[in-house]
Amino acid sequence: MLSEGVIKFRYDHDERALDSRAFADAVCELASWREIMAHTGLVGQDPQRYDGAGYGNVSMRVGAPSAGFGRRRFLITGTQTSGNRCITLDDFCVIEQYDPRRNWVRSYGRIKPSSETMTHGAIYDLSASVRVVLHAHTPVVWRLRRQLRLPTTDAAVAYGTPEMVDEVKRLYRSSGLAESRVFAMGGHEDGIVAFGRSAAEAGQALLVTLARAYALECKQQGIGLCRR
Ligand SMILES: [Zn+2]
Least trusted range by pLDDT, from 107-111, 132-136, 162-166, 190-194: 162-166
CA 139 to ligand 1 centroid distance, Å: 12
CA 25 to ligand 1 centroid distance, Å: 25
> Residue 1 — pLDDT band, cuts 50, 70, 90?
very low
CA 223 to ligand 1 centroid distance, Å: 31
Question: Can you give the pLDDT at residue 4?
Answer: 60
* Residue pLDDT, tens place only, 17-40: 999 999 999 999 999 999 999 999
CA 141 to ligand 1 centroid distance, Å: 14
CA 190 to ligand 1 centroid distance, Å: 8
CA 57 to ligand 1 centroid distance, Å: 8
* Residue pLDDT, tens place only, 92-137: 999 999 998 888 999 999 999 998 898 899 999 999 999 999 999 9
CA 7 to ligand 1 centroid distance, Å: 11
pTM of the complete model: 0.94
CA 159 to ligand 1 centroid distance, Å: 7
CA 82 to ligand 1 centroid distance, Å: 10
Cα 215 to Cα 225: distance, rounded to the nearest angstrom: 8
Q: Which long-range contacts (CB under 8 A, 24 or more apart) does 214-219 make?
A: 214/140, 216/144, 216/147, 216/148, 217/140, 217/144
| Nearest-10 Cα torsion for 173, 174, 175, 181 | 0
Cα 183 to Cα 93: distance, rounded to the nearest angstrom: 25
CA 189 to ligand 1 centroid distance, Å: 8
